[in-house]
Structure 1
């Protein structure tokens, strides 16, 4: 059959037109959203809202893209256009409700959800969009966001009932997400597995299964699931992200350098496959923080340009400050953290790490009082930060502000009685009270012996926790010397001096290093027995001279002991 050139031209035109329509289909736009290619999805949907202006789903999905990228006001504008363009489509009302929830306005959200239900009460998509809106409150980096699981599951269950033929995989993905976000992995698996039977090309459900394995620390199983996703679709970015995070966790946060490096490699692949949205870059920065790749984190954070009105802008300042401090760029860290606190108007979003890094940067700048305030807040947020508070206490201790140091060490001990550094906190707490007593005594301020009691209590704890800490016994001896009655001493210090001598002399390698301290102990023991047991006193003084020949006290006392007794009166 002969075909004319005109027919060929027409057919080619139809093919090209068909390709253009296919490239601009809502289905492809939704796939781009799922693959976290938000710029691509936005471009496609903007075109669709023009070419298919009466289809409310186009507006709804464009609004979702704006919500996912942090532009709530822009999303509202689009949802309202969707309502105007397609009054029978309930999804845009649900979208407005989701925007309300993200703006912490649940009453307005309920109004919009009710409007959605009034428009299409028997359409499963209405309940699906409302259920997903309740789940969307799970936002990385937002410490106050918490999905309303009860309302989410109620609406998603209703969507499942109305979608009686189980034709829409999105319903089961949403139900799986609702359980997975609650860490109810067993309940999440069934709906995720159902997705595969409805839509074998769907990658997200299987990626979520891999993610759940990762979160359960079943790393090998998670790796297998995610590698299968990548084998089926090498361009599905979210699978690379989850695989990167899996390798990082598998490496125990960077201790296994090979797996940690693989994690970074896969995360970079994820960014290359997506449009490097702000959301994905924020996640990448959090990834780099936990991977302890602080130079890369500071570089990425410093290169991101975020509009001032974007709600994610403060998070970028936060990560700039954290990384600058870890890279020892302390002045820059202080600048960044100060900027972050100025930008972050919602104080409920402040993390313990925020106060910690601000306080530590202030400490490096010599702003001790401000550092104390902020690091104390960091500890109140998370007791794991008590070591930083101990740093503040040590700064006051080094500045000989012993009363303040003791006060802070008390807080450190109370906040983390079982923390890794609590031994040092007890030790310096005791020293701070001891030196505060001594400084007041030297200034003739008649200090309270309660200071010594507190000092002794803290040093006693050191001896209990670490019995081989010889200085604990020496300081308890010194403290108890001061606690003893000057006029009628009871020898309160004697057992501690004796224990110190025993602990040091049973290890010959310690004797030379502690020669002067040993001499002090022997001198005190000799002095205690001087009037009651001169033979024992002489023994201790001889040991003092032997271990520390340049000492003067023992030598003088030995001369006294060697001198002839004074003659009796009248002889």
Structure 2
């Protein structure tokens, strides 16, 4: 009897101890997950992945660990690994439903919002009465994909707000959603409130600086980031934001470009030291080096990545870009062709742009006086493909076109400049149009009528028209347009544009008309107009030859023409 009593007491103690140990393990597990969330927030992704894999190994029932690991894979665009991880997480005993949020985000990435919504609804059905964290992650899924839906994110966060309106993470997520939805005032209010509710939520304070950066208030943004550094000097993302701010500042203040780019690169190096030097972080660094146009450093980084992982396809992209910019054309072509031909790689516009430029370079001899037509045409086709994917990459192509123009390779120049002018928001849109018109004109001037490219000449006419529409005082463009229409044998249009030139320079007064270059163009205008009129209006032809002789009484062509007409 005593023995049974003793056994019962012992069993109760063991049972109590088991419960206590289980509770203690659960607390430790929650602490581990919270620590991982901090690592993710600090963009220490390699460390977070290692921690999550350790948690999963020791406790496969922890569904949230699978979910967070899948999120990291998704952020790093390793979709297959993310999907596998989420599906494994669905088998977990605890918090398995979170993994349907990740699978829903993959559906959104695949343009299948119906499937995503069904998964999100299943998650909501598995939530307990006071739960709200799932709503935050569903909102993030709507925001963190290639086609973000900020309205859907805001609607989801309203559900979280009903559960816990003062929760700092809810306020922070609202800030992100409003920022994405371009409601800067509401974004600011929510970021500020999130930080006031929890001053350990450093990212909320960083985002206040991001808002200033977006408004091009770069000095104020830097001041805001420095406040963050004073509070938390080892918070890595603030240095990345500083790097990006100085990069945009450099673009907007050309006179300080070198200084600010140097500062940007310095801050990015600081960011790297506070995260990790894994392959993923090196890739983020490489992306920034491309923005900053530091191709020597990019080549070094790409080769370091190659040492870490010889088969990762993105390394070929970085090697290709760096090789092209550093003059290693064959390596650029081989690296980028190998990257593009793999159907599993997500090819972007810059890949085609760099490969196209490399082909053009390869197809042109060292002193750019001769061209391999096949290679050049292949390069042009690739550049067109790049612009189809992302029109803004045409911004800057004008510089490449002008290189060929200055070497009097007008046909080749025109092919590039035509692509450059397809993007009407380009910083050099007008200048590129002017050079395009000139390149086509000079490529056809002097050729017999039968050999002229009338289709191209009509494009030149349009290009000059673009210049004059935006800048009517660019008077030389009237002369160029008139000359182009002369090659097209369109006398009416030729006369019209020469007359517009005459009207503009005459309006400036005698001083302008006395300038040697203006006198030369007036003589050209009057005599060419007269020759055109001679085809259908003899009195006008005589009148304009006389005007030509007023500019230059010794002009032999006009003297002889007048004799013939009279």
The two structures have a TM-score, normalised by structure 2, of 0.70
Q: In structure 2, what is the Cα distance between the partners aligned to 1:150 and 1:492?
A: 54
Q: In structure 1, what is the Cα distance between the partners aligned to 2:240 and 2:527?
A: 68
Which residue of structure 1 lines up, in the alignment, with residue 434 of structure 2?
423
Q: In structure 1, what is the Cα distance between the partners aligned to 2:144 and 2:502?
A: 67
Shift in alpha-carbon separation, 1:254–1:308, aligned structure 2, 3 A: farther
Shift in alpha-carbon separation, 1:309–1:189, aligned structure 2, 3 A: farther
Could you tell which deviates more after superposition, 235-244 or 300-309?
A: 300-309
- Residues 1:169 and 2:180 aligned together: no
Q: Give the 3-state SS of the residue equivalent to 1:25 in structure 2.
A: helix
2:68 alignment partner, one of 61, 67, 75 = 61
1:363 alignment partner, one of 360, 364, 370 = 360
Q: In structure 1, what is the Cα distance between the partners aligned to 2:152 and 2:490?
A: 69
Q: Is there any run of 5+ residues in structure 2 with no aligned partner, and where? A: 1-23, 364-374, 535-541
Shift in alpha-carbon separation, 1:33–1:434, aligned structure 2, 3 A: same
Measured against aligned partners, the alpha-carbon deviations of 1:409-445 in whole angstroms (never above 9, x if no partner) come to 667656659432221211222233334xx2456xxx8
Considering only aligned residues, what root-mean-square deviation do their CA atoms show, in Å?
Answer: 5.1
Could you tell which deviates more after superposition, 238-247 or 189-198?
A: 189-198
Which residue of structure 1 lines up, in the alignment, with residue 55 of structure 2?
48
Which residue of structure 2 lines up, in the alignment, with residue 38 of structure 1?
45
Q: Could you tell me how far 1:476 is from its partner in structure 2?
A: 5.9
Measured against aligned partners, the alpha-carbon deviations of 1:53-89 in whole angstroms (never above 9, x if no partner) come to 4443333323323333333333344434433332555
Which residue of structure 1 lines up, in the alignment, with residue 222 of structure 2?
223
Q: Is there any run of 5+ residues in structure 1 with no aligned partner, and where? A: 1-16, 138-144, 486-490, 545-552, 562-571
Q: In structure 2, what is the Cα distance between the partners aligned to 1:415 and 1:35?
A: 38
Which residue of structure 2 lines up, in the alignment, with residue 11 of structure 1?
none
Instruction: Assess if the C-alpha contact under 8 Å between 2:120 and 2:138 holds in 1.
Output: yes
Which residue of structure 2 lines up, in the alignment, with residue 241 of structure 1?
240
Measured against aligned partners, the alpha-carbon deviations of 1:441-498 in whole angstroms (never above 9, x if no partner) come to 6xxx8x799998988887899899798988985996798599599xxxxx99999999
Could you tell which deviates more after superposition, 231-240 or 326-335?
A: 326-335
Q: Give the 3-state SS of the residue equivalent to 1:272 in structure 2.
A: helix
1:93 alignment partner, one of 88, 96, 100 = 100
Q: Could you tell me how far 1:371 is from its partner in structure 2?
A: 1.9
Shift in alpha-carbon separation, 1:359–1:539, aligned structure 2, 3 A: same
Q: In structure 1, what is the Cα distance between the partners aligned to 2:85 and 2:127?
A: 20
State the aligned residue count: 502
Could you tell which deviates more after superposition, 284-293 or 86-95?
A: 86-95
Shift in alpha-carbon separation, 1:169–1:430, aligned structure 2, 3 A: same
Measured against aligned partners, the alpha-carbon deviations of 1:79-118 in whole angstroms (never above 9, x if no partner) come to 3443333255532332332344345554443343232222
Which residue of structure 2 lines up, in the alignment, with residue 375 of structure 1?
383
Measured against aligned partners, the alpha-carbon deviations of 1:168-226 in whole angstroms (never above 9, x if no partner) come to 42222222111122332211122212222332212111111111211111122211221
Q: In structure 1, what is the Cα distance between the partners aligned to 2:45 and 2:199?
A: 23
Shift in alpha-carbon separation, 1:70–1:278, aligned structure 2, 3 A: farther
Q: Give the 3-state SS of the residue equivalent to 1:292 in structure 2.
A: coil
Q: Give the 3-state SS of the residue equivalent to 1:147 in structure 2.
A: coil
- Residues 1:110 and 2:110 aligned together: no
Shift in alpha-carbon separation, 1:388–1:410, aligned structure 2, 3 A: closer
- Residues 1:433 and 2:444 aligned together: yes
Could you tell which deviates more after superposition, 458-467 or 371-380?
A: 458-467
Q: In structure 2, what is the Cα distance between the partners aligned to 1:51 and 1:90?
A: 20
Shift in alpha-carbon separation, 1:405–1:253, aligned structure 2, 3 A: closer
Which residue of structure 2 lines up, in the alignment, with residue 190 of structure 1?
189
Q: Could you tell me how far 1:363 is from its partner in structure 2?
A: 1.0
Instruction: Assess if the C-alpha contact under 8 Å between 2:433 and 2:463 holds in 1.
Output: no
Shift in alpha-carbon separation, 1:466–1:337, aligned structure 2, 3 A: farther
Which residue of structure 2 lines up, in the alignment, with residue 5 of structure 1?
none
Instruction: Assess if the C-alpha contact under 8 Å between 1:32 and 1:40 holds in 2.
Output: yes
Q: In structure 2, what is the Cα distance between the partners aligned to 1:79 and 1:224?
A: 41
Q: In structure 2, what is the Cα distance between the partners aligned to 1:71 and 1:286?
A: 17
Pick 1 or 2: higher relative contact order, CA cutoff 8 A, min separation 6. 1
Q: Give the 3-state SS of the residue equivalent to 2:91 in structure 1.
A: helix
Shift in alpha-carbon separation, 1:324–1:379, aligned structure 2, 3 A: same
Shift in alpha-carbon separation, 1:462–1:243, aligned structure 2, 3 A: closer
Which residue of structure 1 lines up, in the alignment, with residue 372 of structure 2?
none
The two structures have a TM-score, normalised by structure 1, of 0.70
- Residues 1:84 and 2:91 aligned together: yes
Shift in alpha-carbon separation, 1:425–1:55, aligned structure 2, 3 A: closer
Shift in alpha-carbon separation, 1:332–1:88, aligned structure 2, 3 A: closer
Shift in alpha-carbon separation, 1:346–1:57, aligned structure 2, 3 A: closer
Which residue of structure 2 lines up, in the alignment, with residue 8 of structure 1?
none
Q: In structure 2, what is the Cα distance between the partners aligned to 1:429 and 1:149?
A: 47
Q: Could you tell me how far 1:233 is from its partner in structure 2?
A: 1.4
